[in-house]
Structure 1
Amino acid sequence: MKQPKLTFRKPDAKDGSEIWSLVSRCKPLDENSMYCNLLQCDHFRDTCVLVEQDGLPVGWISGYIPPSTPNTLFVWQVAVAPEARGLGLGKRMLAHLLDRPETADCARLQTTITKSNEASWGLFRSFARSIGGELTSAAHFDRDDHFAGHAATEHMVTITFEEEAMAAA
């Protein structure tokens, strides 16, 4: 079976509404406002990636480098369209982001995941293994303390990697 032709690129502001539509099709992801996706594409384009198949968005990662930890890429959201699942896009997008000059000084990747999100745990565990990174996690945003009981506790997942491991990504 022939692999589809995929294009990995930085988003720009005109992609915001299409990314918003993609995320809305990727349940159970939290839908941000269209304006939030627009800002991600505009302000954080260097640490986000959009994947297109035949000109249509099928993959998206929003991320940023927190000002307090400039050696960390924080991954906010990973979305893969239902029709593009099974192509390894999640890992490929993560590797693509970490291969950019803008993330060259990053020594770790962080994200938050709820305990029940098996797909995200699987993606980040698999990615950590593939680059020889160490994955750790701890409760971070508490259901009651931070979400007033309206959302599950988010666990901070940290993948620490060596420079040699990143070269292999």
Structure 2
Amino acid sequence: MAGKNWKQYFDFSAIEKNRTNGLCKLCHRNYKDKSGVFSNFLKHLKRQHPLEYNRVFNSEYEYFTEDRNGIEDAHEPIDLTNIKEKENRIILSITKNLIIRCNLPLNLVEKPAFRDFMKECSLKYRPVSAKRLKHDIIPSLKSIVLTRIHEKLDTTDHVTLTVDIWSDRRCRSFI
């Protein structure tokens, strides 16, 4: 959240040991946090003033959901306070960024170290299975991408393709 948006809801003042004091303009409660860190103020706004929280974060939603390599979420801006939808966003991010873009194996999500890491990142994270990724999530992303490719090809007059053929040590050929 930008600094001017925070000042809309809090009066900030510096206190000892590199800390910031913030007085909520809506309910006149005092909160403290490290300088440059706004997590306590964010939690207060989210819990005590959800309408203002939604107003601020719905206007900044476009910044957090930039399209990468043509794969984006196929739904409208959502309220991040809803745990189920936040969980789905985490699972989609794991699939798009780790499994697809980094080319990591599907069983990554079932390894204990990865699950521990995700528990550290999000306490309410419920693990997803490789089977669900393989049968539900990746096919839905694939259909979105295929639809975009078909739309693009429908509007294109000429297409140039390059095919690379190679073989392994046993002389099996691959395209």
Instruction: Provide TM-score, normalisation by structure 1.
Output: 0.31
Q: Which structure would you say has the larger Rg? A: 2
Higher relative contact order (CA 8 A, sep 6+): 1
Flag the structure with higher strand content: 1
Instruction: Provide TM-score, normalisation by structure 2.
Output: 0.30
